[in-house]
Structure 1
Amino acid sequence: MNDKKFNFKHIHLGSLLKARTQELLLKSASLCAFFGCETQDLEKMYDSQSLDMELIVKWSKVLGYDFFRIYSTHLILYAPQVTQVRTIETKPKNPLEISFRKNIYTKEIIDFILEMLSTGEKSKGQIIEEYGIPNSTLHKWLDKYPN
């Protein structure tokens, strides 16, 4: 789960669950009892690219890891920034409802970006263009996290 080379673009949740289960040395019998399922059901979950949200919540609890964070990171990195689209029915936005993008970058995202820079996989310009990270933010990260 702490692998800096994790590919946030292509998420296969089942393989992540299996890896974390092995990391914690959890037995299938214990997990089956927790989920109220058979071993083959557990294997189906490990083979699945995605799962129902309620199952992800249960997995997050039993494995002590927020698997939703992976999807949030994917959205931050790969979903285009949405500007407010107004329709005739839309009322002007209340100033208190304005959301800010400041501080949305988790340590995992910063590590992911800096790893691409340090290995030469992407240049500063490519990162700024592809992920919409401001130039000043990228330079602050480089100063703050020199390794």
Structure 2
Amino acid sequence: MINKKFNFKHIHLGSLVEQRVQEKELHLSFLCRSFNCNGKQITDMYESETMNTEILLIWSKILQYDFFRIYSEHLILYSPQTRVSIKDSDHSSLKKKEGGFRKNIYTRGIIEFILESLENGEKSHTEIIQEYGIPPSTLNKWLDKYKKI
């Protein structure tokens, strides 16, 4: 759905919804019935940079695409990592985290996005590590695992 050159820093939901509508080849009359609105209101949604979450949920269901994931990926890429200090948390929660399985927070799309920006020379190793907060060891593992042959 999202092209490889997608900029997660600037999200324009309306254009993404419109792109998906075109891919699914849905008719305007069907969309108007689904939203109980007219064609102008649908066009206005396409032009809108943001949307009400209830409306976005309906779009996600109709278009069979999780538009909320785009925001999750944005948070992974652009939100600062939080550090837990021993003072701020109790010891029992730390023990659970130490022995537990840590879920991979990076989706395949994010990994490809980052590696492509590195490969195209848009960003250096250092810039990626600093801007996205990705540990150097993780970036090196991605390079080994996903490098194009």
Same fold (TM over 0.5): yes
Runs of 4+ aligned residues of structure 1 deviating over 6 Å after TM superposition are none
Instruction: Assess, with a 3 A threshold, how the Cα gap between structure 1 residues 85 and 56 changes in structure 2: closer, same or farther.
Output: farther
Shift of 1:37: 1.0
Letter in 2 for 1:117: L
Match of 2:26 in 1: 26
RMSD of the alignment, in Å? 2.3
Greater mean alpha carbon deviation, residues 78-87 or residues 3-12: 78-87
- Say which SS state the counterpart of residue 134 (structure 2) adopts: coil
C-alpha separation between the residues in 1 aligned to 2:101 and 2:12? 30
Structure 2 runs not aligned, ≥5 long: none
Shift of 1:144: 1.0
Letter in 2 for 1:70: I
Alignment of 1:1-147 (within 5 A): 1-84=1-84, 92=90, 94-95=92-93, 102-147=103-148
Shift of 1:44: 1.1
The one-character-per-residue Cα deviations of 1:18-73 (angstroms, maximum 9, x if unpaired) are: 01101111111111111111111101111111111111111111111100110001
The one-character-per-residue Cα deviations of 1:104-126 (angstroms, maximum 9, x if unpaired) are: 00011001101101100001111
Letter in 2 for 1:48: S
Letter in 2 for 1:103: N
C-alpha separation between the residues in 1 aligned to 2:52 and 2:3? 25
TM-score w.r.t. length of structure 2: 0.87
Instruction: Assess, with a 3 A threshold, how the Cα gap between structure 1 residues 46 and 85 changes in structure 2: closer, same or farther.
Output: farther
- Say which SS state the counterpart of residue 83 (structure 2) adopts: coil
Instruction: Assess, with a 3 A threshold, how the Cα gap between structure 1 residues 131 and 100 changes in structure 2: closer, same or farther.
Output: farther
TM-score w.r.t. length of structure 1: 0.88
The one-character-per-residue Cα deviations of 1:51-109 (angstroms, maximum 9, x if unpaired) are: 1111111111111110011000101101111234899xx87475178598640000110
Percent identity between matched residues is 54
Between Structure 1 and Structure 2, how many residues are aligned?
145
C-alpha separation between the residues in 1 aligned to 2:54 and 2:91? 33
Structure 1 runs not aligned, ≥5 long: none
Shift of 1:3: 1.0
Letter in 1 for 2:118: L
